Structure 1
């Protein structure tokens, strides 16, 4: 088993990992809070949520299996070398568990809050169904030879693909509406910070070990950070440059929050004169 060559590097790795965990984990809360305050999920794309649940569930399977299973760790060392460190940290597992929980809570909000005429598309349903059927088939293929590392690599690939496509429905929806109302920018900023810190964490481990296996041995984590960086910057550009929100105070509500201000009641004296 590989060990750290530098204690300061190990400490830096742990600090970066847990700060990234906090940033990525808290990135879920602005959207949940925004939905709660508005009592509405209008403007939040449901395809994004469903694909996000598939993504985080797959990522949880990969992280938890590689972190906890000695059999899978042994297969990893057989493939990449006995001196290589396992590229999944405790903060990766904690983040995945938290992400699945918060995504489930957001989906529950879709059921109880005003959602207008929005619904999950047939394309999204078909993609999700195809992904889980494929995962089940891969499980039975890996069963005879106990190819567990290959199996969790399939789940890692799923989360990479889901990350690549899950943001697209929301980005297109913002473009069509010419607005980002209902989509929390706080979520995006925290998500971006987490992705940057995640890169730094992987870099620290690579420098300490004198090898870049950490990046391609867990290619899913590397691609995840790159995809998050790209789409977060896109959403920030949409929010602040393309479709800046103009706040107009109307009592306790604002147009920026996507709540229609109350209409002024008719003048009774005018009605009587008529």
Structure 2
């Protein structure tokens, strides 16, 4: 049975904040896609970030969709956290996850069709992603006999939290190494930060209405998702606007750098040849 709201204004606020988070997070994928399309290049976008992000959103979709649509999982949730507790996944959470998987997969597709220089997906990321899905498969086998579905989707929720923690690290280091954020859209980060803020507001409104903060620790994945994402968003904002002066020095593509490296020796050789002839 669906738990009722105690306050109509708070219920409306909850829905508004939820869809604000949905639109902010959903639109945040487009600046990077558009930037890649305009440049016909993905140089500056870390490939490990995209691959880890796809695993993260896929895991989160499994969690959100199952908890939102499955009555069996909802029953197990209420048995664990309280019969009068609201399910901490809304329709906008499911819609966001579906959209996120599709857009991240499309960004991965762009990596294969646009100029990428000498960038490639690292073996470490491949190992991490493989280990994550292997762990999910093993847990599925373990959960089948006892029908421990809530535990199973909690595993996928944990996977998405882990992916959220580590997925930004390669991009942050790449920006630092290049001393530039060129090729990595800051629009994505600004919208992501807005979505995270709205998401926390939505959870707080629900907790106030129900006079219970189990919403935060009962859906720890959603809580940590916003917290970690917002911390990295602040880092990227500092890199873009403060550390590297609105994008930093224009980073050369690998091909350009190679030309620059080979051009100087040729010039020196020409000068030396000229001196000998004189």
Could you tell me how far apart the structure 1 residues matched to 2:143 and 2:79 are?
A: 17
**Cα offset for 1:244?**
1.5
Tell me the distance in 2 between the aligned counterparts of 1:92 and 1:246: 32
Specify the alignment match of 2:160 in structure 1. Answer: 159
Q: Distance between the aligned counterparts of 2:109 and 2:252, measured in 1?
A: 20
- State the match for 1:69 in structure 2: 70
**Partner of 1:226 in structure 2?**
227
Taking the TM superposition and a 5 Å limit, the aligned residue runs for 1:165-176 are 165-176=166-177
Distance in 1 between residues matched to 2:205 and 2:164, nearest whole Å: 24
Report the Cα offset of residue 256 of structure 1. 7.9
Residue equivalent to 2:60: 59
Partner of 2:216: 215
* 1:123-170 per-position Cα deviation (integer Å, ceiling 9, x unaligned): 000000111000000000000000000000000000000000000000
CA contact (8 A) 2:182 2:248 kept: no
Query: How big is each residue's C-alpha offset from its partner over 1:195-254, in whole Å with a ceiling of 9 and x where there is no partner?
Result: 000000000000000000100110000000100110000000000111124799xxxxxx
TM-score (norm 2): 0.89
Task: Measure, in 2, the Cα distance between the counterparts of 1:247 and 1:36.
Answer: 21
Unaligned stretches of 5+ residues in structure 2: 257-278
SS of alignment partner, residue 101 of structure 2: helix
Structure 1, unpaired ranges of 5+ = 249-254, 261-274
Q: Does 1:115 align with 2:126?
A: no
Q: How many residues align?
A: 254
Q: Give the helix-richer structure, 1 or 2.
A: 2
Superposed structure 1 runs of 4+ greater than 6 Å apart: 256-260
Distance in 1, matches of 2:185 and 2:26, equals 14
Query: Quick one: structure 1 residues 52 and 127, their matched pair in 2 at CA, closer, same or farther if it must change by over 3 Å?
Result: same
Query: Which residue does 1:13 correspond to in 2?
Result: 14
CA distance in 2, matches of 1:3, 1:150: 26
Report if the CA contact (8 A) 1:56-1:159 is conserved. Answer: yes
For the residue of structure 1 that corresponds to 2:34, the secondary structure is helix
CA deviation map 1:77-136 (0-9, x unaligned)? 100111000000000000000000000110010011000000000000000011100000
Q: Report whether the alignment pairs 1:43 with 2:44.
A: yes
Does structure 2 retain, via aligned residues, the 8 Å contact 1:181–1:257? no
- Contact 2:36/2:110 (8 A) holds in 1: yes
